[in-house]
Chain A
Amino acid sequence: MTGRAGWWFLLPWIVGFLAFTAGPMAFSLWLSLNHYDMLEPPEYVGLDNYREALTDDRVGTALWNTLFFTALHVPSQVVLALALAGLLRRAGRAAGFFRTVVYLPVMTPPVALAALFLLLLNGQNGAVNAFLGWFGFTGPNWTTDPVWIKPGLVVMSLWTVGSTAVLYLAALTRVPPERYEAARLDGASPWRQFWHVTLPGISGTVYFTVVVNTIASLQVFTEAYTMFFGARGKQSGEGDAALFYVIHLFREAFESLRMGYASALAWGLFVVIAVVTAVQVRLSRRYVHYEGER
């Protein structure tokens, strides 16, 4: 009776999972073996879509852009969030205020964020280059020079670093103070304290944020699409510099009406994410420490 009651409690989730996750995934897997343009019934083509994906130049470009962005974005996010969390921890009585300030930008809708950063990052009169100019640097054309588009998007992505920072702040408060005391007695410098006490103490949280941010980065879409492929995209000439994998997938699906091919691309991305995550899980065994583990 107890077991049956448990299933009843699980039922809403199971129904939701089957209807909105497992079902669409299974349908997409089947669709990836078909040509389907939404107007005619699907036509079975076997593995043709997967073969085409392997020879599609734009898939290679999009994958490279996405991995490049991820490689820049994730470490930048971790470092900046750690720095902010460290500062927040020392905020004293105003901690609540500063926590709110740091988290507030996360509330900005992504499309508004993209529109805002098109202005801030403008190479000719944007605020970012004006700021760099105060220190004698000539900033690049972040939004129009293909070389600088992805770094510009990384700069923009740091706007939402607050969500990671508050997680790190919570983790930092859980590191036992006696460990720092012992380290200081042993003569450890602040850097060695960070490296040998702080980082191992919060490694579980860092690992979690790295995995989650990596998956999110591999699916980057909204901001880049708004900035370079939406209505403005008709007049943009940045070429493929901002063509991320999910943008390519979206355009194949909803501009070229190739639902089968787009489904194959989606499964390709699923495999990439699974491989990257598996590597991270493997590495975590060596570098991540949890309280209570021997």
Chain B
Amino acid sequence: MRGWLVGVVAVLVCGCGGLGATPADAPNTLVTMGFGQPDEHATARVAVFRAAHPEVDVRINEGAFDEQQFLSAVAAEDPPDLVYAERRKLGSYAARGAVLSLDDCVREHGVDLGEFREAALRQVTHEGRVYGLPDFAMTRVLILNNSALRAAGVDPASVSTTDWSALAELVARLNRPKRIAFDPKVPEFLPLWAKANGVDLVGTRLDDPRVVEAVRYTAELVRRQGGWASFKAFRDTFDQFGAQNAYVTGQLAAMPMESWYLNTLATNSPDVDVTIAPFTDRRGRPLTESSGQAWAIPKGARHPDLACRFLVTMTDADTWVTAATARRDALAAKGKPYGGTFTANRVADERIFREVFDPRGNRILERGVPQVLALQDEAFALAPSPAASELVRAWEGGVNRVLTGRQSPEDAMAQAQREAERALRRVGAR
């Protein structure tokens, strides 16, 4: 009787504790985290790797990257072989030692890091060592609603973010009930507005007068359009991914937006009349922020060599072209245009937009894509920081307090600066 009970308890404990080898421990097995396969960009690239390495069992752990899941896995010494996450976060993990340096991997496989866009690569570089290979690259552009602007007697070509006073006057002129004249997209686009005002958000004090001015200006744009509560509630009603999106319905006249939205517009509302223009700094120079994901190998990964081969394959120019072709063909089968794939690999982009790009006469893509491509190499990116999440939370919290009228821009950003300093001190102290 006693032996039987001990046996039951032992089985339960071992089951709960996960003792013993798991399928992930098997040789030639690769487990990923944070990567899904929603379209051909993913499936075709994984297929390229599988074709080159049929002996490897690639296990794609579908689902978005979850910071808690990833760090718990690393802490429990049970990490995946590969992690796919925002570059900004990977920079932070590199500083904290949660991901491995890829220097040996890159050297061994002869990867030419010069092919990657500088801003993207900088985000995954810590103390001179590369910790991730950049994957997609998104930039930000202005998308102007020609119909709404012309109806108000405004030439879309005259709309820019160069002259902040003129933009504020334009907002006053375009503002109507049930329409957002200009959405500055704060707090998430604060780095872009700060850069336009001559200052990098990471590496500068958050209470720098130029940051404060950017916060005050963008919050004022929102205030002139009814204040944050109604502005945001109205924006929440937009059908962003549908055929009746805010550009079609005329609910929105202009906003800066990530470049992926061009493809959304082209696919769901191909006839909508929009102008794609660069966001400009206050001297009129085109300006954009780059962001995107990267592949990295977590500390404690069971198969780092295989993982290295996988991420090299996934970010290789030939693989990207294969994926882009598959994507184009899939869209063509549905009668839809292909607006290109924006990657962090410059060589891949050159080939994709030369050999694969197929706008099928779509005006949004034909006019917008060249604008995005022209901006790619000029893009800036948030510098990596060991306290990246806390810094973002600090400045976004500051902007939110201004938007909701609870603090002045000066006080809000001073508090944000104090919070950022505390976060950096805590990380630096470890």
Contacts and interface: CB of A to CB of B under 8 A. Distances in A.
Interface of A: 15, 19, 35, 37-40, 43, 57, 118, 122-125, 140-141, 143-146, 148, 234-241, 251, 254-258
Q: How many interface residues does chain B have, given as a range?
A: 35 or more
Contacts of A240: 397, 400-401
Q: For chain A, what secondary structure do more than half of its interface residues adopt (helix, strand, loop), or is it mixed?
A: loop
B403 A237 contact: yes
B400 A38 contact: no
A219 to B, nearest CB: 18
Nearest to B406: A239
Contacts of A125: 237
B401 A239 contact: yes
B75 A38 contact: yes
B67 A39 contact: no
Contacts of A123: 229-230, 233
B230 A38 contact: no
B71 interface: yes
B236 A118 contact: yes
A197 B1 CA distance: 56
Contacts of A258: 426
A144 B232 CA distance: 6
A119 B400 CA distance: 22
B11 to A, nearest CB: 13
B336 to A, nearest CB: 26
A43 B97 CA distance: 17
B182 interface: no
In the A-B complex, the 8 residue pairs with the closest CB atoms: A145-B229, A123-B233, A38-B75, A141-B229, A144-B232, A254-B68, A239-B400, A144-B229
B404 A239 contact: yes
Contacts of B233: 122-124, 141, 143-144
A74 to B, nearest CB: 27
Contact of A39 (B75, B390, B406, B423): B75
B219 to A, nearest CB: 10
B297 interface: no
A19 B12 CA distance: 12
30 contacts: A15-B9, A35-B426, A37-B96, A38-B71, A38-B72, A39-B71, A39-B97, A124-B233, A124-B234, A140-B229, A141-B229, A143-B233, A143-B236, A144-B228, A145-B229, A146-B406, A236-B232, A236-B400, A237-B186, A237-B399, A238-B232, A239-B400, A239-B403, A240-B401, A241-B404, A251-B393, A254-B71, A256-B389, A256-B423, A257-B96
Residue with the greatest number of chain B CB neighbours at <10 A, chosen from A15, A38, A43, A123: A38
B98 interface: yes
Residue with the greatest number of chain A CB neighbours at <10 A, chosen from B188, B229, B415: B229
Residue with the greatest number of chain B CB neighbours at <10 A, chosen from A118, A148, A255: A255
B229 A257 contact: no
B134 interface: no
Interface in B376-430: 389-390, 393, 397, 399-401, 403-404, 406, 415, 423, 426, 429-430
Given A122-B233, A256-B390, A235 B98 contact: no
Nearest to B9: A15
B187 interface: yes
Nearest to B401: A239
B154 interface: no
Given A38-B74, A39-B98, A237-B186, 20 more contacts: A35-B430, A37-B430, A38-B71, A57-B415, A122-B233, A124-B230, A124-B237, A144-B229, A144-B230, A148-B229, A237-B187, A237-B399, A237-B400, A238-B232, A238-B404, A239-B397, A239-B400, A254-B67, A255-B390, A255-B393
B292 to A, nearest CB: 15
A258 to B, nearest CB: 7
Contacts of A57: 415
A257 B397 contact: no
A134 to B, nearest CB: 19
A237 B227 CA distance: 12
A141 B230 CA distance: 6
Contacts of B186: 237
A234 B229 contact: no
A140 B233 CA distance: 10
A145 B399 CA distance: 15
A8 B404 CA distance: 59
Nearest to B392: A234
A145 B400 CA distance: 11
Contacts of B72: 38
Interface string B182-195: 00001110000000
Given A124-B230, A124-B234, A237-B400, A40 B430 contact: yes
B161 to A, nearest CB: 20
Contacts of B9: 15
Contacts of A39: 71, 74-75, 96-98, 299
A122 B67 CA distance: 30
Contacts of A35: 426, 429-430
A240 B415 CA distance: 14
Contact of A122 (B16, B68, B98, B236): B236
A255 B236 contact: no
Contacts of B397: 239-240
Contacts of A236: 232, 400
Residue with the greatest number of chain B CB neighbours at <10 A, chosen from A15, A39, A124, A257: A257
Contacts of A145: 229
A10 to B, nearest CB: 14
A237 B390 CA distance: 16
Residue with the greatest number of chain A CB neighbours at <10 A, chosen from B71, B228, B230, B404: B404
A268 B231 CA distance: 37
A110 B57 CA distance: 37
A251 B399 CA distance: 19
A90 B71 CA distance: 55
A122 B230 contact: no
Nearest to B222: A237
B179 to A, nearest CB: 12
A124 B227 CA distance: 13
